[in-house]
Each structure stands twice: as C-alpha cells, then as structure tokens.
Amino acid sequence: MNITATLNYFKTNEMNDLTVLKSEIKSGSDEYRRNYNETIQIMDDFKRRLQNTIERNDDPYVKKHKSKGKLLARERINALIDPETEFYEFSALATNDLYEGKFHSAGIVTGIGIIHGIESVIIANDPTVKGGTYVKETIKKHLRAQEIAYEHHLPCVYIVESGGIFLPEQANVFADRDHFGKIFYNQSRLSAAGIPQIAMVMGSCTAGGAYIPAMSDESIIVENQGTIFLAGPPLVKAAIGETISAEDLGGAYAHTHISGVADHMAKTENEAIQICRSIFENLPKPRKTVQISEKFEEPVYPAKELYGIIHSQSSRWMNPYEIIARIVDGSKFREFKPNYGKTLVTGFAKIKGQTIGIVANNGVLFSDSALKGTHFIEMCSVRKIPLIFLHNISGFMVGKDAEHKGIAKDGAKMVHAVANTNVPKITIIFGRSHGAGNYAMAGRAYNPNLLFTWPNAKISVMGGRQAAEVLWSVKKNGSDNEEELKKQISERYEQEGSAYYSTSRIWDDGIIDPVDTRKMIALGLSIAANKEIPDYKPGIYRM
C-alpha cells in the first residue's frame, strides 16, 4: 500500500480511549526504499557537517590549547554533568556558512545538562575559536541560552574563557538592544528572579568577558590559568604606563584574596569542576508542576522508520500520522475534529506519560483548518496542556474563493491563538515552512519554548519555484532570459531556505536527527514543568 495513504486506526479501551495509530508503511516498498536511501544521504551530510564542527583535533588552535593541559569546551561540560547523562547541545552548526567557516559553533557551546539531578543551562566559551571572542551570532546564541534559563527557571553555569568582543566586528555587536551588553542585563534579571548562576573561569576573561564571573552568584577560578581583568597587561601599559603580569593583575590569588571578584580558587580545571558540582549539591531542587511518570509506553513503531517517510522536500507529501505514531506513547492518539479541516491534524497524546496537544500540518491551511486549529489551541490553553507543533506548511490557501471565504481573518484567528497561548510550545519543523504558515504553526517569532528542525527542512517566505514566478513577473520587462532568471531565483531561495542556512543564523535551537524527536520534545516538556502555566487571556478575534 502507498505510504501516503490516509492512516487507518482502531479503538482501544486504554488511556481514555486514545487511538492506536496503525501504520501503513511497507518497508519493502519502492517508495519506502527510495525515501530511506534519500534520507540516509541527507543524514550522512548532516553528520559530516556536525563532525567537522565538533571534532577538530587537527586544528592548530585545538592542538595549542590541549598542549597546555587544558580541556576543550565540550570536555569541560561532559566532566561537569552527572555520569551517564546526556548534554543536549543547542545550535551546534551556528555560523556554519559564515566567516569563511572559521567561527565553529559561533565560538560558544550552549545546551542543557543535568548536574546533581538538576537540569541546568550550560554556556561555555570555546577559546580555540578566535580566543572565545564574540561575533553577533555568538551573542545571539548566548542570549538564547540565557532566555531558556530564565523562561524555565534553570540554573545557569558559565564556563568562561573569552577575549570579549571580536574587535573587527565591533560595530555589529556592541551598542544595540540585543548586542553584547544584553548578556549582563540578562544576568541581572536571572539573579533578580532567584535563578542561580555559577561561573568557572578556565582561562583569560578580558574586557566584557570579565563581567560574567563578576555578575554570577559564585565564581571559581583556576590558579595560574584563569585571569579576570577589564584591560590586560598591554593595555594597562599603554593607558597608565604600569608594567604588570597577567597573574598579578587579575589571577586567581588576586581575585580570591584581594579583590573578592572570585570566591573559590582551584588548582586544576577538574578541581574547579568538582567545586561547581559541590555548589549544586546545596541548590534547591526545582518543584515540578507536572509529575513526570516513571512508567510509560514506548511508540509501537521504531523511530528509525522515519527515514523511510521523509525525503529532500520536493512536492511529495509527508504523512503526519506516520510521524505522530513514532513519537508518542504507545503510538496512541485521540484526534480532535478528524472529519473537519482535514489539512490540519489536531489531537491529544502523551509523551513519557505527560498529556500533550498536537497540531500537525497535512496540507495547505484553508479557513476550516485554521478555525479548527484555533479551537484546539484555545482548548489546550484553557486546559493548560502543552502544545507540540509538527510543522510542514506551504502557507494559507490563496485565490478568489479562499479570499471571499475570509482566509485572512480565519488565519489571523489561528495566529492570535498561537501568540497568546501561555502553555509550553515545542515546534518541530519536519518539512517546509513558508509564509504566514510559519507564524500560525509557532515559528521562531512566536516564542516556542524550543524549536528544532530536521536536516531536510526548508524555511523561507515561499518556495523557490513560486518566488521565481513572482519575481519574473515583476522583473521581466521584455527580457528573453526567462529560464535563466527563474533558475537563479529558484537556486537562491533553495540555498537560503535550507536548514543549514537557518541554523547558521540561529533561527532555531538546532538541527536534530529525526530519531531524536521524541527525546527532544520530552526535554522541552520537562524543563517547562519548572513553572506554573498562567491563565489564558485571548485577544480580539475578527468574526
């Protein structure tokens, strides 16, 4: 049977009459094998890019760093988190196509790790990338990590070794609202909210980098390795004529015995990490608003079969039911309004025992599907049920019939509902994301708690073919180079719409392997349970 056939399903008496989805996938079919082989190529490319970014053992800057007996940024993180737990890294491929490919991961590693059982945001400078200095994407990534900490009441650990602003880019990183100064504004706000912040100074912290440990609750500095100063010895010499060593100016002894800028002195990096872990022993454990169940069913169908469902995003359709069946507990799903507005799938399921609402694209959005989505989102908002958006949308329907039926006001209702809901929102872009459909499906501008893309995803105002037609109609002016112009436009849109272009600019929280989707949604649900959900207050809906 064709895998794009509508799924059949059957009722069960378990889990409040949730429906067990019955997959129509035939792993031996030509279509499945074609999709699988295509996806394996996509995944090989993704893993190669990731490996080239993270594993840089031949990089001379990495060799120099390790020759001093120092740990790499990710090694420091792995030593900090609890044994046999995972570090969930965000935006590992940031700046992957910028700065001549030399600002790996934007020079900073961010993510969530568990320290003494406490989910925590970790922000680690990578001194092997331009001395741990900051370009605009570094700042954006740092601010996003602090935002996640603030929104989810997560302690924040800064592993600091930074030269501050990357001076050639100073005009792009210094003075604006979300530039370098916002880091310290965020630290102040985190502190006022009672969210613990711990800094480990593992190397030189110069200029703006010096304020991070100074604004943290507790700071640890490594002897004969860590330094903190607003201006280093060369600048001090130039400014006031004073000659002084880095250690005497701002080393561990100076800041733990004289200035009080740091609180704990460690002889080694490993000792600093153990001091940080000991601090976490005395931190209060967060009070979860949702009891996470220890007992839950795994999906009936293996996640690896997702490779046979997705593909490189031509005009071929991807069945959202097949994806839902591979990420929710027991592959069970109770659909809401299954016979109305069928281009949007809505319904209830569980992930690791927690009830969720799912909004999944099944085609272009019409007025009826937008109204259905609005109804469902409002219902989840009132009931305080987290929303998962599975996002593969070319936009809202266009044309005379759609306009006369009020697609603009009906689409606006769904956008209203998404913008004003107070429940946790987790967005997975598994296919295309075009136009206002991006907004209605909780795109980046709608503040989802976490947003991840799959490597095959495409994100742009419209598809390349449509853009080529529109721009050709505007630009042609009697030109006979129609095919060449359309080709150029289409290629540009495809390049700018790729998941790698998006993640490079931190429009998401990272590209993930599709098989990790359930795990990353569970992470989002877990950290969101650290605070109460406010009551729903809608705006004005044009009727």
Q: Which of 19-33, 397-411, 495-509 has the lowest mean pLDDT?
A: 397-411
Q: Which of 203-212, 278-287, 370-379, 444-453 has the lowest mean pLDDT?
A: 203-212
**182 and 325 share one domain:** no
Are 29 and 82 within one domain? no
| pLDDT band at residue 408 under the 50/70/90 scheme | confident
Tell me: the pLDDT tens digits for 101-143? 999 999 999 999 999 999 999 999 999 999 999 999 999 999 9
Res 397 pLDDT > 90: no
Amino acid 14: pLDDT: 39
Q: Stretch 357-377: mean pLDDT, rounded? A: 95
Residue 542 has pLDDT above 70, yes or no: yes
Cα 110 to Cα 55: distance, rounded to the nearest angstrom: 16
Q: What is the pLDDT of residue 16?
A: 52
Mean pLDDT confidence for 430-448: 92
Q: Within a domain: residue 292?
A: no
Q: Is the pLDDT of residue 488 over 80?
A: no
Using pLDDT thresholds of 50, 70 and 90, give the confidence band for residue 466.
low
Strands 197-206 and 156-162: parallel
Q: Using CA atoms, how far apart are residues 533 and 529, in angstroms rounded to an integer?
A: 9
Per-residue pLDDT reduced to its tens digit, 217-247 = 999 999 999 999 988 898 899 999 999 999 9
Please report whether residue 452 resides in a domain.
Answer: yes
* Per-residue pLDDT at 258: 96
Identify the pLDDT of residue 430. 94
What DSSP letter does each residue of 185-240 carry, written as one string?
HHHHHHHHTT--EEEEEEEEEEGGGGHHHHTSSEEEEETTT-EEESS-HHHHHHHH
In a domain, 230, yes or no: yes
Dihedral sign for Cα 123, 150, 281, 216, please. Answer: positive
Range name among 29-33, 74-78, 258-262 with the lowest pLDDT average: 29-33
Please tell me the predicted confidence (pLDDT) of residue 453: 97
Residues in the chain: 543
**443 and 482 share one domain:** no
Domain stop point among 281, 310, 336: 281
Say yes or no to pLDDT of 15 above 50: no
pLDDT at 249: 94
**Mean local confidence (pLDDT), 424-431:** 96
Q: Is the pLDDT of residue 491 over 60?
A: yes
Do 252 and 378 fall into the same domain? no
For the whole model, what pTM was predicted?
A: 0.92
> Does 189 share its domain with 89?
yes
For the ranges 17-21, 128-132, 491-495, the lowest mean pLDDT is seen at 491-495
Angle formed at CA 447 by CA 304 and CA 381, multiple of 5 degrees: 85
Q: What percent of the chain has pLDDT over 90?
A: 72
Q: Is the pLDDT of residue 380 over 90?
A: yes
Quick one: 318 and 368 in the same domain?
Answer: yes
Among 170-179, 359-368, 446-455, 528-537, the range with the most confident prediction by mean pLDDT is 446-455
Compute the average pLDDT of residues 374-382: 97
For residue 9, what pLDDT is reported?
40
Task: Name the domain boundary from 220, 246, 281.
Answer: 281
| % of the chain exceeding 70 in pLDDT | 93
Question: In which band, very low, low, confident or very high, does the pLDDT at 462 lie, cut at 50, 70 and 90?
Answer: low
Looking at the structure of the chain, the number of domains it has is 3
Q: Among 318-327, 421-430, 445-454, 532-541, where is mean pLDDT lowest?
A: 532-541
Lowest mean pLDDT among 10-14, 23-27, 408-412: 10-14
pLDDT score at 11: 37
Is pLDDT at 6 greater than 50 in this prediction?
no
Question: Rounded to whole angstroms, how far apart are CA atoms 430 and 228?
Answer: 44
Name every residue whose Cβ is closer than 8 Å to that of residue 169 and which is 6 or more positions away in sequence.
Answer: 135, 136
> CA nearest 187: which of 127, 145, 152, 223?
145
Domain with 272 in it: 59-281
Q: Is the pLDDT of residue 63 over 90?
A: yes
Task: Clarify whether residues 316 and 274 are in a common domain.
Answer: no
The verdict on residue 202 lying in a domain is yes
Q: Is residue 69 part of a domain?
A: yes
Q: What is the pLDDT of residue 289?
A: 87
| Residue 525 resides in a domain | yes
Query: Domain ends where: 227, 250, 281?
Result: 281
Are 479 and 522 part of one and the same domain? no
End-to-end CA gap in the chain: 43
Is there a single domain that holds both residue 132 and residue 188? yes
Please compute the mean of the pLDDT values over residues 496-504 and round it to a whole number: 93
In a domain, 483, yes or no: yes
| Structure-block tokens of residue 539 | 């705006």
Closest CA to 299 of 76, 530, 526, 515: 515
CATH code, 32 = 3.90.226.10
242-251, Cβ contacts within 8 angstroms, sequence gap of 24 or more = 246/204, 250/210, 251/221, 251/223, 251/224, 251/226, 251/227
Amino acid 475: pLDDT: 66
Residues 429 and 476 in one domain: no
Average pLDDT, the chain: 90
- Chain-centre distance of CA 407, in angstroms? 31
Tell me, yes or no, whether 414 and 324 share the same domain.
yes
Indicate whether 291 belongs to any domain. Answer: no
Cα–Cα distance, 386 to 292 (Å, whole number) = 14
Per-residue confidence (pLDDT) for residue 54, from 0 to 100: 95
Contact between 91 and 79 (Cβ < 8 Å): no
**122 and 226 together in one domain:** yes
| Per-residue pLDDT at 514 | 97
Query: pLDDT tens-digit profile of 151-207?
Result: 999 999 999 999 888 988 888 899 999 999 999 999 999 999 999 999 999 999 988
Mark out the alpha helices in 282-332 (DSSP H runs): 320-324
How does pLDDT run across 269-297, given as a tens digit for each residue? 999 999 999 999 999 988 898 877 778 99
For 376, phi then psi, to 5°, come to -65, -45
Confidence of residue 434 (pLDDT cuts 50, 70, 90): confident
Of 53-57, 263-267, 470-474, which gets the smallest average pLDDT? 470-474
